[in-house]
Amino acid sequence: MKGLKYYIKDSLKNHYAIGAYNFVNMEMLKGICEGAKETNSPTIVSVSEGAFKYMDENFVLGLYNSALKSYKDIPLFLHLDHGKSFEMCKKAVDLKFKSVMIDGSSLPFEENVAVTKKVVDYAHAHGVLVEAELGVLKGVEDEVSASENIYTNPLKAKEFVERTNCDTLAVAIGTSHGAYKFSGEAKLRFDILSEIEKNLPNFPLVLHGASSVPQKYVEKINRYGGDVKGAKGVDEKLLTKACKEHNIYKINTDTDLRMAYIATLREYIKENPTNIDSRKFNSLAIEEIKQLVIEKNRCFNNINRI
């Protein structure tokens, strides 16, 4: 089967993006794989540091290796999302993750360069790809939070890539993590993205904080006792533009999967008060996540790419 390196090149050449979907349990992973199978899409399955602690390394690898066996024809790449230290990235490399992200975006430039380079040297010696980040996304980036977007500086991006030799770069162009991305009009700075691309021609870029926060989930969560009023995400048309017209090769999604999951559970539990069998609502959640991933892969132009 072709590796991640192949699909990175292929996605740039054919103007699609690979969905990077976060999972924290079997149900989410299964829903993601079911969706990927339906659309025949290479797929990145991401584990954040928080998810890594929640599941522990044996469960992460156990679930991933089970998914590889159950979905033999689908290229599934295990990725560390927002690794905050060399030690965490080293652990993921040693566990044979296919790629790791070192997120030094909250550090001063020189420190970000230094830690990224250290991770790159170790990961490349073990055949693992490295994603780095320059610029800060508004909202919560795991343990780091920022109230303002600090957009990626296009000139610094070129210097950063040359000095670190990272394989891919996450850029800040107006997206943010979580369910509340925009209070007013949802805008992305495609002008900054184009400048980055001028400085880094044909270099694979990553969009974080890319959930579209489907209003059907917002409504359902609110209707069944939750409170996520005013939640708003990235317009799907902008995501399609990012992969068709720009060099965004990977689009990260976590919030939408969480919302699909929790909306399904809330509705089922409220409508079926006598049920005590978790398989009932978890099966529905797997199906909902599957449908969501199918829609996303269409939006990312990632159909029949295997």
Q: How would DSSP label each residue in 257-272?
A: HHHHHHHHHHHHHHH-
By CB under 6 A, tell whether 209 contacts ligand 13P: yes
Contact code string over 230-269 relative to Zn ion, x by CB under 5 A: ----------------------x-----------------
51's contact among ligand G3H, ligand 13P, Zn ion, none, with CB below 5 to 8 A by partner kind, is ligand G3H
E strand residue ranges, 103-242: 129-134, 139-141, 144-146, 168-171, 205-207
Q: Which is nearer to Zn ion, 176 or 282 (CB)?
A: 176
Q: Name the β-bridge partners of 124.
A: none
By CB under 6 A, tell whether 211 contacts ligand 13P: yes
Give the span between the Cα atoms of 127 and 130, in whole angstroms: 10
By CB under 6 A, tell whether 177 contacts ligand 13P: yes
Which position among 17, 18, 21, 22 is part of the footprint of ligand G3H (CB under 6 A)? 22
Q: Which is nearer to ligand G3H, 81 or 197 (CB)?
A: 81
**Is there a contact between 35 and 290 (Cβ–Cβ < 8 Å)?**
yes
281 φ/ψ angles, rounded to the nearest 5 degrees:
-80, -30
146 φ/ψ angles, rounded to the nearest 5 degrees:
-140, 140
**How crowded is the C-beta side of 97, counted as CA atoms within 13 Å?**
28
- Return the active site residues: 81
Which position among 27, 34, 197, 254 is part of the footprint of ligand G3H (CB under 6 A)? 254
Give the span between the Cα atoms of 212 and 215, in whole angstroms: 9
Site residues (CB under 6 A) for ligand G3H, limited to 174-193: 177
Which position among 208, 250, 290, 296 is part of the footprint of Zn ion (CB under 5 A)? 208
By CB under 6 A, tell whether 252 contacts ligand 13P: yes
**Is there a contact between 166 and 120 (Cβ–Cβ < 8 Å)?**
yes
Contact code string over 76-95 relative to ligand 13P, x by CB under 6 A: -----xx-------------
User: Within its chain, how far is the Cα of 121 from the centroid?
Assistant: 24
The residues binding ligand G3H (CB under 6 A) are 22, 48, 50-51, 81-82, 142, 177, 254
The residues binding ligand 13P (CB under 6 A) are 22, 81-82, 177-178, 208-211, 252-256
